[in-house]
Chains A and B, each alone.
Chain A
Amino acid sequence: MHGRKQLIGWLTACLILIQPAITQATVPASPTSETQNCLVCHGREPAEKGGIGEEPRAPYVDMAALKTSAHPNTACSECHREFASGKHPDPRFRDAQQRKLRYALKCRECHSDAEITLKPIHARLLENAQEGDAPVCTDCHGAHNVTPISGGKVLQSERRYCQGCHEHPVTTDLRSGETLMLQTDLTVLDGSEHHMLSCSDCHFGFSSQEHPQRNFRTLRDYAIASSDSCKRCHFDKHTRTLESIHYAILNQGNQSAPVCTDCHGAHGIAAVGKDRAFSATRCKQCHAAVYETYAHSVHGNALINERNQDVPVCIDCHRAHDIVNPLTLEFHDGIPDTCANCHSNKRIMGKYGLSTDVVKTYLSDFHGVTLNFYRKQKEALLKPGRPIAVCTDCHGTHDIAGDADTDPLIVKGRLLKRCQKCHPDATENFSDAWLSHYEPTLEKAPIVYLVNLSYRIFLPVMVVGLILQILLHIWRYAVNR
């Protein structure tokens, strides 16, 4: 056996001696003769994996990888010291981890601590080693395909540094058994609002020096924890979300409640507000039924089918970050202001021939006056009496319809039903009490108009007449004296 191995060794040595003259031009680096010897057995790709009770197979070494590695000309025995051309002891390891650890220590025989700690991340890893968490060089750098993390390139930026690992499909297993994909596509980041940012701007705690071990239970836990990064820059938005219903629900333990990244995305972060139709689809992810209703309303239809950018989307009424519970009386009482944002705006309403008096007429009528008093009462910490009809109580919320093309009788019938929600004994005539946001005119509400007109004439005439009488009386008195 030994003789044959030696013969092969010598033949190989001779071959290597003459080889450079033949192949210098084509092969830049070639394994040493010793390596060639080893690869006779270890270079054979195993047809099948070894198992218990089978003949143990020789560990496979990919020559191509070895050739392109940082150590193309290092002989096997330079790392595997106990082996040599005539020496092949039986390796005995407790497990794969022990084997890896053992061989990783070999790296440090050439690569001194002084050398490797020039890279801060190594310094940090070595500090950990003192605490019993020994670094395994090959975990990051590979074994036979050993390579600098940069892949031979010079790392100029933190991003490139991180990408050294994270451009590969690296994953980590979470406690729940879910797998977290750690691969990041930089092109996505470059196309995002955050294209100027560096990895550690968001992934704080991580750097070219630090790579702390995180321990998440589920993917959702990870997403929620990660969105905490956003507040470092967007603190104003963060404080607003603290008042939101989503935050309240999250706090109550419902992990489905959305966090920053659920609406904005993570690496492909977008300014959601820029495309209004897009922003509505964010909410649709959870509120699909509401979105469907909205899509058929006069607002949603214009947004989706006409690409109209004037109509309100979800966040215009519910707000984006400080989304309050829309079922509270506070939200309900604020609805006239919400609608007024657009419906009192002459520039927007003018485009569609809509009146801007709708909010004013509401606020000066019975409901509006009462509502305003209730709102003031609330500020003064008095309890308001009861809910007062606001815009949505008559017009609907997500299903707001335009009534320009609807038969007035149908509109009237619908209105009566809405009146009866608060005035259960209302009869057919009752809904006519509401002047449909019109200022009373001779055509629209003649009785109201005439009452107002007669007082507008009579009242000043009477007051002026009485004052003149008084002045005449005083004058006469003065003259008489």
Chain B
Amino acid sequence: MKNRKINGGMIRRFSPLRLAEHWVNAGAIAVLVLTGLAQKFHTLEASQWFVLHLGGIDTVRLIHHTAGVVVILLTLQHILATSFLVVLRKGQPGMLINKKDVADTLENLRYYFGLRQSPALCDRYDYKQKFEYWTILTGQILMTVSGLILWFPTVAARFLPGEFIPAAKALHTNEALLIFLLIAVWHIYNAIFSPDVFPLDTSIFTGRISRERMVHEHPLELGRMEGIPLEAVLKERREEMHLLDAESPLLH
């Protein structure tokens, strides 16, 4: 993207809207997970302590519903705004999954097992990020639908078979666990504990990413952004890899 400024080795990666989205979503999901898991694991002492200290189950449900409404509105906003941008050709559908993502996955696996010298060459979003994005997005849609059924069961039963209500409950509780585990395991690792970003990937908070990380993680996007050929980016990357190469006889 031409309008992205490069200064001091930092490249603009996210617009303020995306930063706000992340903050709101992170906050709302934290509230939902806490108030939701306390209900899912209702027999645990800790859950009961938590619920009682928030003023009882009715208060917890009120908080859960309020945070739920925030997520519903945010998700709707995200889908509408993103589609709008793509339709108006003001943004690129960078999150769309394509054949290359499958190839990248396999390439990276080979790299991890030492069968390849360098990791896959990724565009703006790599396959890991896409997986996380789509899991969270579909998750939030599923949570919205099932959550509304549970919130208004009598209304839902006017249009749906009654069995959809317990099914919605099963879906809501399982999907919640899935989202929670995805964030707790995958997102936290990639954003905090991964050696590439440790102690914290600050790009979603500052909106900027170092050029060095772009070379490694998003070479295709960097090349397109700076208008330089991919070969030049790869050369930069190889130089750094070469240093590593000398130390590591495993890589050939």
A-side interface residues toward B, CB under 8 Å? 366, 369-370, 372-374, 376-377, 380, 382-385, 423, 425-427, 429-435, 440, 445-448, 451-452, 455, 458-459, 462-463, 466-467, 469-470, 472-477, 479-481
With both beta carbons as reference points, the residue of chain B lying nearest to A381 in the complex is identified as B52
A-B contacts, 6 of them at CB < 8 A, read A380-B52, A429-B161, A445-B166, A451-B167, A452-B174, A469-B128
Residues of chain A within 8 A (CB-CB) of B162 are: 429-434
B189's contact among A385, A434, A440, A470, by CB below 8 Å, is which?
A: A470
Question: Contact at B161–A426, with CB atoms within 8 Å?
Answer: no
Residues of chain B within 8 A (CB-CB) of A366 are: 169
Question: Contact at A463–B181, with CB atoms within 8 Å?
Answer: yes
- Please report the total number of B residues contacting A with Cβ < 8 Å: 48
1/0 per position for B236-252, CB-CB distance to A under 8 A?
00000000100110110
User: Please, how many angstroms separate the alpha-carbon atoms of A221 and B111 in the complex?
Assistant: 96
Residues of chain B within 8 A (CB-CB) of A429 are: 157-158, 160-162
Question: Contact at A466–B52, with CB atoms within 8 Å?
Answer: no
Contact A466 to B57, CB < 8 A, known contacts A373-B42, A433-B163, A479-B248: no
B-side interface residues toward A, CB under 8 Å? 39, 42, 48, 51-52, 55-58, 109, 111-114, 128, 153-155, 157-158, 160-167, 169-171, 174-175, 177-178, 181-182, 185-186, 189, 194-196, 244, 247-248, 250-251
Question: Contact at B52–A382, with CB atoms within 8 Å?
Answer: yes
Contact A373 to B161, CB < 8 A, known contacts A382-B56, A459-B181: no
Residues of chain B within 8 A (CB-CB) of A470 are: 185-186, 189
Residues of chain B within 8 A (CB-CB) of A373 are: 42, 48, 51, 56-57
Question: Contact at B170–A382, with CB atoms within 8 Å?
Answer: no
Task: Report which residue of A373, A374, A447, A472 has the largest number of chain B beta carbons within 10 angstroms of its beta carbon.
Answer: A373
- How many residue-residue contacts, CB under 8 A, span A and B? 127
Question: Contact at A432–B161, with CB atoms within 8 Å?
Answer: yes
Question: Contact at B182–A462, with CB atoms within 8 Å?
Answer: yes
Residues of chain B within 8 A (CB-CB) of A477 are: 195-196
User: Please, how many angstroms separate the alpha-carbon atoms of A435 and B164 in the complex?
Assistant: 11
User: Please, how many angstroms separate the alpha-carbon atoms of A431 and B155 in the complex?
Assistant: 13
With both beta carbons as reference points, the residue of chain A lying nearest to B113 in the complex is identified as A472
User: Please, how many angstroms separate the alpha-carbon atoms of A446 and B163 in the complex?
Assistant: 9
User: Please, how many angstroms separate the alpha-carbon atoms of A350 and B247 in the complex?
Assistant: 71
With both beta carbons as reference points, the residue of chain A lying nearest to B153 in the complex is identified as A433
User: Please, how many angstroms separate the alpha-carbon atoms of A430 and B149 in the complex?
Assistant: 12
With both beta carbons as reference points, the residue of chain B lying nearest to A447 in the complex is identified as B167
Residues of chain B within 8 A (CB-CB) of A467 are: 185
B111's contact among A369, A377, A445, A476, by CB below 8 Å, is which?
A: A476
Question: Contact at A448–B174, with CB atoms within 8 Å?
Answer: no
User: Please, how many angstroms separate the alpha-carbon atoms of A472 and B112 in the complex?
Assistant: 6
User: Please, how many angstroms separate the alpha-carbon atoms of A446 and B170 in the complex?
Assistant: 12
Question: Contact at B170–A440, with CB atoms within 8 Å?
Answer: yes
Task: Report which residue of B39, B55, B167 has the largest number of chain A beta carbons within 10 angstroms of its beta carbon.
Answer: B167
User: Please, how many angstroms separate the alpha-carbon atoms of A88 and B250 in the complex?
Assistant: 149
User: Please, how many angstroms separate the alpha-carbon atoms of A445 and B39 in the complex?
Assistant: 23
With both beta carbons as reference points, the residue of chain A lying nearest to B175 in the complex is identified as A455
Residues of chain A within 8 A (CB-CB) of B171 are: 451
A427's contact among B42, B158, B175, by CB below 8 Å, is which?
A: B158
User: Please, how many angstroms separate the alpha-carbon atoms of A470 and B128 in the complex?
Assistant: 11
With both beta carbons as reference points, the residue of chain A lying nearest to B184 in the complex is identified as A463
Question: Contact at A447–B164, with CB atoms within 8 Å?
Answer: yes
With both beta carbons as reference points, the residue of chain A lying nearest to B135 in the complex is identified as A462
Question: Contact at A466–B186, with CB atoms within 8 Å?
Answer: yes
Task: Report which residue of B157, B178, B181 has the largest number of chain A beta carbons within 10 angstroms of its beta carbon.
Answer: B157
Residues of chain B within 8 A (CB-CB) of A425 are: 154-155
Residues of chain A within 8 A (CB-CB) of B247 are: 481
User: Please, how many angstroms separate the alpha-carbon atoms of A475 and B194 in the complex?
Assistant: 11
With both beta carbons as reference points, the residue of chain A lying nearest to B48 in the complex is identified as A376
20 additional contacts (CB under 8 A) given A427-B154, A473-B195:
A370-B57, A376-B52, A382-B52, A382-B55, A423-B154, A425-B154, A429-B161, A430-B154, A430-B162, A432-B157, A433-B163, A433-B165, A433-B166, A447-B167, A448-B167, A452-B174, A455-B174, A463-B181, A469-B128, A470-B185
